[in-house]
Amino acid sequence: MLLLLLAALLGAGLLLLLWARWRPGRAAGRSQCWRLLLGHSLMLGGLGWATSRQRRRLENQTKDVRQSQERCLLRLLKEAGDAEPDSNTFREHHPLKPGRLDKDGSHQPILHPGSLPSPWTLLQSCWALDAPLQGPMLYLDILSKVYPGALTPQATAVFCAPGCPCPATACPLPTLYCMPAGLGGDVVPSRSSALYVQLLFALQEQALRVLKAGLASELHDALAILHANWEGLAEDLASGWLSPQLKLPEGTRYQLDSLLSPNPVRAAELRAECSRGFDGIAQRLWPELQAVVVGESGSEQLYGDTLREQDCKGIPFYSPFYVAAGALLGVNLWPEESDCRYLLCPGWAFCEFLPAGTHSEEPLETVLLGDVWEGQEYELVLSAHPGQYRCRVGEVVKVTGFYHQCPVVEPVRRLSQTLSVRGESIPEDHFCHTLHRAVGMWPGAKLVDYICAESSLLGATSGTSAPHYQVFMELRGLRDLTEGQRYKLDQCLQEDFPIYKSFRFKGSIGPLRLHLVAAGAFAQLRGVMGTPAPMARVLRERHLLDFIQSRIIS
């Protein structure tokens, strides 16, 4: 009976929303707004019960982690048509293997921002245990308790680059978004153009409560477009038409123009605020903002820190999910804390762990989810999709505590981003720490972005010099560096890594070469990289190295 009532609420809400989607001309009428609000309220009421139920199920799962993991594994095996009696037999029959899960998350049902989910998807979300459906329910539950205003209809702006499926940030309540239906990142093929269009629609709404992006770099680059093109955005707002300089397919341009309305008052507000500078610009443009929701673990933390210090100063940040190798693994239950910690949900993937630093020639004995130790670092081994078992995905996490029986982790590094030209192996997080220390010795300098490459990627063009690192940086506050300042980074590396110092002393590794690139070069690089993913810190493809080299200014 309760399920039938829930189905009726969700069905009525969807019908009202579909009715409200009919647009008589370029502006919505009052009756359409009422249909939208009523449909949103009905769906929110139905999903409210589902979110509470999913939170209770998570609580129960974390109190018996072994049984929850066994059930998760059996579900994966059943979907693939495989059969194993238990996890011990499973591990005996399936050896560890290197490699990644599907990077694009193609196994996960996708709900693009603004698209209407089917009634079946909504009903599934009430009892499903798999990550793509349980995750968004937990997200809504946390938002409703910590940022209740975030559930206001059409008060969330989403920034999503082309090719990004956004499984972790998908939400079965499409009325939250100010982005019109069907106009996600895939509609506009260029990354910069897609972010421009999404920013324009966000600027139309003064009463936004949430800025949301799958990656902190996407929001960072969208607001960088605001810095560089606020006058053009103001003109588009005032006229209600997209600038002809924006490269768009004609059909897409016509569709977008039909959804815009002239708003000279909002355009004047944009000009007034941007002319004052960009410190705290997000709060000034959207005074009712309650939260910035972005993925900012690992390499994305640099962009989150930059946003906190400048554009989004004073606004709480929340990184809701931990995603590794295309699989949704954990949820952040502590949005009000500054550190990003994630509960590994036992029903989302079968997780095993190798102690960090384990070499391939050693016997590889994994530890199960309930047997890890607090304070230790582990390499993740995942079975997250049917047929893809025991994958060493190259992610290292640190166990920071426990929630009932389940570990709470902090992402530490990606093994694929290790620098090594002579076997010295400088981890991603350690190099980042050293780089920040060196930049701190350059008066007035602020690190915007960086990436590295090993000289072997240059091939014959690297010359006859010893193997070395190439480092590309974008700085704010300095236009050039002296040779002494450039050497500081190499000196800091020698101080922090004795093996590197030994190779440098012997001449087996040559001096690091540091290059400054033009402003915006890394945003352009992310567009060239294709499918959005946490920012790489070591280039492995020659065409990407050629691209960043073409942006060197010093």
- 274 and 383 share one domain: no
Task: Say yes or no to pLDDT of 461 above 50.
Answer: yes
Task: Say yes or no to pLDDT of 437 above 90.
Answer: yes
Q: How many CB atoms lie within 10 A of CB 479?
A: 9
Task: Say yes or no to pLDDT of 165 above 70.
Answer: no
Residue 313 in any domain: the answer is no
- 234 and 177 share one domain: yes
Residue 130 in any domain: the answer is yes
- 349 and 406 share one domain: yes
Q: Which amino acid would we find at residue 273?
A: E
- 279 and 153 share one domain: yes
Q: Is 478 helix (H, G, I), strand (E, B) or coil?
A: coil
Question: Tell me, what's the pLDDT at 3?
Answer: 47
Full DSSP string of 309-358: HTTTTT--EE--EEEETTEEEEE-S-TTSSS--EEE-TTT-EEEEEETT-
Residue 27 in any domain: the answer is no
Residue 2 in any domain: the answer is no
**pLDDT over 70 percentage in the chain:** 81
- 423 and 544 share one domain: yes
- CA geometry: angle 445, 450, 451, nearest 5 deg: 155
- 397 and 424 share one domain: no
Contacts of 504 (CB under 8 A, 6+ apart): 490, 494, 511
Question: Tell me, what's the pLDDT at 148?
Answer: 85
**pLDDT over 90 percentage in the chain:** 64
Residue 360 in any domain: the answer is yes
CA distance 231 to 225: 11
Split at pLDDT 50, 70, 90, the class of 170 is: low
Question: Tell me, what's the pLDDT at 387?
Answer: 87
- 218 and 284 share one domain: yes
Q: What is the pLDDT of residues 205-247, one digit of tens each?
A: 999 999 999 999 999 999 999 999 999 999 999 999 999 989 8
CA distance 16 to 505: 72
Residue at a domain's end among 415, 435, 454: 415
Task: Say yes or no to pLDDT of 297 above 70.
Answer: yes
Mean pLDDT of 393-420: 96
CA distance 298 to 397: 10
Backbone angles phi and psi of 420, in degrees to 5: -165, 115
Q: Is 228 helix (H, G, I), strand (E, B) or coil?
A: helix
Question: Tell me, what's the pLDDT at 167?
Answer: 42
Residue 15 in any domain: the answer is no
Residue range of the domain that includes 281: 149-289
- 154 and 280 share one domain: yes
Task: Say yes or no to pLDDT of 542 above 50.
Answer: yes
Q: What is the pLDDT of residues 50-63, one digit of tens each?
A: 788 889 999 999 99
Task: Say yes or no to pLDDT of 325 above 70.
Answer: yes
The answer to whether the beta carbons of residues 62 and 403 sit under 8 Å apart is yes
- 153 and 283 share one domain: yes
- 188 and 247 share one domain: yes
Residue 311 in any domain: the answer is no
Q: What is the pLDDT of residues 145-163, one digit of tens each?
A: 999 888 888 899 999 887 6
Q: What is the pLDDT of residues 23-46, one digit of tens each?
A: 433 444 444 555 566 666 777 776
Residue at a domain's end among 415, 430, 448: 415
- 277 and 158 share one domain: yes
Q: State how many domains the chain has.
A: 3
Give which of 186, 191, 151 is closest to 171, Cα–Cα: 151
Instruction: Kindly report the pTM of this predicted structure.
Output: 0.89
Residue at a domain's end among 247, 272, 289: 289
- 42 and 136 share one domain: yes
Q: What is the pLDDT of residues 68-109, one digit of tens each?
A: 999 999 999 998 888 888 899 999 999 998 865 444 333 333
Residue 9 in any domain: the answer is no
